[in-house]
């Protein structure tokens, strides 16, 4: 049956069909859950900062802990200079985190399991750090990023091409890592849930495993948001210091 298909959970369908000039701009289930992730981000940060106190409450403490965590990651990875871009990096982390966590809700939609969504995020990071690198260092000096110091002159053209291809592949690897991890985990959970449904009372073992896997998947959701963020910091470090 269709609802037992492990891949059915990734299907995008229109909630509000809309077409303008032959272009489909329907409001889909993916759009809905991205909006909810955005609202969740704004709500959490707004509530946490609504009544700042010298002795913070639980929500304020959680918000400050997240801020300190990401700020510390940026400082350790890209240096103090990178902190001027903290708002963008922190927003990226929180949005991916909420999108991942919302995808754990039964009958929801995991937007970060779709490569088009993760690639859009990755290409924004890629273009952003590239512009920062060129503006800060100039176009000529920026090209030195693709030619490691100490490379023999004879090997310079080949190394330049290899480094350039590696650089251009960044948004692809960044987006694939997040999308594949979220898709595989949710697919596995759906498959195991199908065993529980089919086996009935005998499904107690797969049910116990499903509970454990759900907790593990929450950890993966947090980890993947952090991995995306720390790689963004690594790319930002390359842009600022050209290494």
Q: Using only the alpha carbons of the chain, give its radius of gyration.
A: 22
Cα 136 to Cα 240: distance, rounded to the nearest angstrom: 7
Q: pLDDT-derived band of residue 231, with 50, 70 and 90 as boundaries?
A: very high
Residue whose pair of structure tokens reads 């896997």 in the numeric block: 213
Q: What are phi and psi for residue 28, nearest 5 degrees?
A: -105, 175
What distance in Å separates the CA atoms of residue 236 and residue 95, rounded to the nearest whole number?
19
Give 26 or 172, the one with higher predicted confidence: 172
Helix/strand/coil for 105: coil
Evaluate whether 29 touches 13 at the Cβ level (below 8 Å).
yes
Domain ranges (residues) in the chain: 2-51+89-241
Supply the pLDDT for residue 49.
Answer: 65
d(CA 68, CA 88): 15
Distance CA 10, CA 112 (A): 10
pLDDT tens string 27-36: 899 999 999 9
Average pLDDT of the segment spanning 99-121: 91
Q: When comparing pLDDT for 61 and 165, which is higher?
A: 165
Interval 10-25 mean pLDDT: 85
Q: Is the pLDDT of residue 55 over 70?
A: no
Nearest to 100 by CA among 181, 192, 170: 181
**Which tens digit of pLDDT belongs to each residue from 171-185?**
999 999 999 999 988
Longest CA–CA separation in the chain, Å: 70
- Indicate the SS3 state at residue 219: helix
Q: How confident is the model at residue 1 (pLDDT cuts 50, 70, 90)?
A: very low
Q: What is the dihedral of CA 74, 77, 79, 83, to 10 degrees?
A: -10
pLDDT at 54: 64
Residue 2 has pLDDT above 50, yes or no: no
* CB crowding 91-107: b at 16 or more within 10 Å, else e: ebbbbbbbbbbbbbeee
Digit-coded pLDDT (tens) for 63-83 = 778 889 999 999 999 989 999
Nearest CA among 188, 10, 236 for reference residue 116 = 10
pLDDT tens, 206-229?
778 778 888 888 999 999 999 999
């Amino acid at each position: 049956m269709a609802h037992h298909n492990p891949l059915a959970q990734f299907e995008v369908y229109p909630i509000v069909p809309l077409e303008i000039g032959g272009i489909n701009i329907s409001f889909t289930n993916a759009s809905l859950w991205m909006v909810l992730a955005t609202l969740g981000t704004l709500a959490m940060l707004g509530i946490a900062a609504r009544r700042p106190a010298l002795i913070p409450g639980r929500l304020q403490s959680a918000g400050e802990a997240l801020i300190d965590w990401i700020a510390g990651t940026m400082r350790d990875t890209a240096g103090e200079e990178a902190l001027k871009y903290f708002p963008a990096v922190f927003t990226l982390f929180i949005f991916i985190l909420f999108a991942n966590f919302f995808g754990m809700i039964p009958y929801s939609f995991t937007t970060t399991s779709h490569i088009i969504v993760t690639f859009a995020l990755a290409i924004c990071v890629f273009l952003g750090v590239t512009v920062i690198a060129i503006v800060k260092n100039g176009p000529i000096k920026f090209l030195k990023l693709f030619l490691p110091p100490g490379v023999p002159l004879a090997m310079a053209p080949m190394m330049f091409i290899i480094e350039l291809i590696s650089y251009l592949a960044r948004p692809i690897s960044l987006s694939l890592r997040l999308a594949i991890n979220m898709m595989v985990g949710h697919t596995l959970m759906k498959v195991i849930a199908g065993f529980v449904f089919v086996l009935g009372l005998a499904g107690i073992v797969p049910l116990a495993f499903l509970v454990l896997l759900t907790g593990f998947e929450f950890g993966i959701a947090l980890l993947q948001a952090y991995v995306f963020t720390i790689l963004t910091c690594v790319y930002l470090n390359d842009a600022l210091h050209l290494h």
